[in-house]
Structure 1
Amino acid sequence: MNTLSRREEDTIIKSTKERALKECGPIVREFADCASGRTVSVVWACRGKYRTLQTCMHK
Structure 2
Amino acid sequence: MNALSRREEDNLLKATKSFALKKCEPVVQEFANCMDGRFISVAWACKDKLRVVEKCMIQ
Q: How many residues align?
A: 59
Give the unaligned 5+ runs of structure 1.
none
- TM-score scaled to structure 1, two decimals? 0.96
Q: Report the secondary structure of 1:40's partner residue.
A: coil
- Work out the CA distance in 2 between the residues paired with 1:7 and 1:42: 35
Map 1:40-55 onto structure 2 (within 5 A): 40-55=40-55
Identity, in percent, stands at: 56
The one-letter amino acid paired with 1:14 is K
- TM-score scaled to structure 2, two decimals? 0.96
Q: Report the secondary structure of 1:52's partner residue.
A: helix
- Work out the CA distance in 2 between the residues paired with 1:37 and 1:45: 12
Map 1:1-59 onto structure 2 (within 5 A): 1-59=1-59
